[in-house]
Structure 1
Amino acid sequence: MSAYKAHFRVWRGDVDGGDLKDFHVEVNEGEVVLDIVHRLQATQAPDLAVRWNCKAGKCGSCSAEINGRPRLLCMTRMSVFGRDETVTITPLRAFPVVRDLVTDVSFNYAKAREVPSFVPPADLKPGEYRMRQEDVGRSQEFRKCIECFLCQDTCHVVRDFEQNKEAFAGPRFLMRVAELDMHPLDAAADAGIDRKRGAQEDHGLGYCNITKCCTEVCPEQIKITDNALIPLKERAVDRKYDPLVWLGNKIRRREG
């Protein structure tokens, strides 16, 4: 394929506001959108702000929205767009703009700190942990997350309702809660941590209505909804509404 000039619209601005600017940039065979952004910086807009690191789809840094869809700039090939198509690049909509394509994603790190970490079993020492391979595989899927926060950005609970952010952790961190809750060696209950109740009351699991938009944009093809959020919802409901669990809680409260 010969080189050609493509029409790009790139959002330029900062916290005080901005607008889309038009550019025509050369595209070569095999290039990804991040290549074009770098060429744009080198030839026309040296002050364009964009976050990136590995250019291999593993660091999650170059998250943005391309034609309205949350994507990684480094994993979106120019060949998916027609030569006459205008490619529009904007910052992640769910998070505050810092400048140009760079957003403030500190919300996600704050939510990460709210999730209680893995609690090792008290009767086992490091090196003595044993798990079934099927349990390892189930947890390993979620460990593939590169924290690009595309799932957080596309989740309409966060994206469309700023007021929900305080009560809702978002799919990435509900997935973390689900991973820990299904971990056979996690001794959170012995430490007084109820992960199912925490998912409901602290992390806003009830806000999720399982539209699967988070799964659709995940660059690691993690089945966030089917393998993490839906099973976590089922366990949380069982924990809250099972009559035997309810009776046990009543008895324990009376004994206390």
Structure 2
Amino acid sequence: MGYDAQFRVWRGDADGGALQDYSIPVNEGEVVLDIIHRLQATQTPDLAVRWNCKAGKCGSCSAEINGQPRLLCMTRMSTFTEDEVVTVTPLRAFPVIRDLVTDVSFNYAKAREIPSFTPPPGLGPGEYRMQQVDVERSQEFRKCIECFLCQNTCHVIRDHDDNKPAFSGPRFFIRVAELEMHPLDTADRRDAAQEEFGLGLCNITKCCTEVCPEGIKITDNAIIPMKERVVDRRYDPIVWLGNKLRRRRP
């Protein structure tokens, strides 16, 4: 059985905008992205929204639904009651381009700052040998679809725009952790994680983990282990002595 839902959608651009109200038919089994597409087809053809796969795997349709960062294509209308007003707004942490489309180029700039995978010298393709436990540990982080919901909900970025130059955010902490935990990677990213990417600014509230559509344990499996590695590197007396001795070798 269908019904008419009340939608409130943010319309505007970088110069400003406002929420606009719509009444739109909803059919059984639909998701919020279906309703946005119906609005485009029937009432507001100039409504801008970014989407691609409609299967929760491309991360394109990120937005805020009733104030919660979500994927439009993975939020079922059955989540809401028939008399509930559904409010759809753009990601708050990033500049608005138009309507529900935001400029997420900040994230791609941060991605370019992370040193790439650095295998041992002379190790050729097909010569990699890893234990299954090491594969599974880093494979979790590779499930990321770059929806940037974690970036958007992180209050260090969301509430303090001036932190962006010094803080990469949870999506890139899992990238650093993936490389740092890879048994064949020879680069040391612990100092960079702390000094260049802002790992110390994270106070592990786990809000990033809560919104991840892939269920990645960002805080427990990436950020906290990276913090522990940084602390070991800087403050463990045995590690400190070992680093000193290695530096003295001719």
Which of the five TM-score ranges fits, normalised by the shorter chain?
Answer: over 0.9
Q: Who is 2:85 aligned against?
A: 86
Q: Who is 1:207 aligned against?
A: 201
Q: Who is 1:216 aligned against?
A: 210
Q: Who is 2:73 aligned against?
A: 74
Q: Counterparts in 2 of 1:1-256, with a 5 A limit?
A: 2-188=1-187, 194-251=188-245
* Cα displacement string for residues 62-115 of structure 1 (whole angstroms, at most 9, x for unaligned residues): 000000000000000000000000000000000000000000000000000000
SS in 1 for 2:166: coil
* Cα displacement string for residues 41-61 of structure 1 (whole angstroms, at most 9, x for unaligned residues): 011110000000000000000
In the TM superposition, what is the alpha-carbon distance from 1:125 to its structure 2 partner? 1.1
* Cα displacement string for residues 145-183 of structure 1 (whole angstroms, at most 9, x for unaligned residues): 000000000000000000100000000001100110010
Q: Who is 1:191 aligned against?
A: none
* Cα displacement string for residues 230-249 of structure 1 (whole angstroms, at most 9, x for unaligned residues): 11111111111111232344
Measured at CA, do residues 80 and 53 of structure 1 come closer, stay the same or move farther in structure 2, by a change above 3 Å?
Answer: same
- Taking only the aligned residue pairs, the percentage that are identical comes to 78
**In 1, Cα distance between equivalents of 2:106 and 2:99:** 19
**In 2, Cα distance between equivalents of 1:25 and 1:111:** 39
**In 2, Cα distance between equivalents of 1:117 and 1:84:** 50
In the TM superposition, what is the alpha-carbon distance from 1:124 to its structure 2 partner? 1.7
**In 2, Cα distance between equivalents of 1:250 and 1:121:** 23
Amino acid at match of 2:100: L
Amino acid at match of 2:193: A
Taking only aligned residues, the RMSD between alpha carbons, in angstroms, comes to: 1.2
- Structure 2 gaps of 5+ residues are none
In the TM superposition, what is the alpha-carbon distance from 1:254 to its structure 2 partner? 6.5
SS in 2 for 1:199: helix
SS in 1 for 2:140: helix
**How does the TM-score come out when normalised to structure 2?**
0.97
SS in 2 for 1:53: coil
**In 1, Cα distance between equivalents of 2:195 and 2:32:** 40
**In 2, Cα distance between equivalents of 1:146 and 1:251:** 42
In the TM superposition, what is the alpha-carbon distance from 1:121 to its structure 2 partner? 1.4
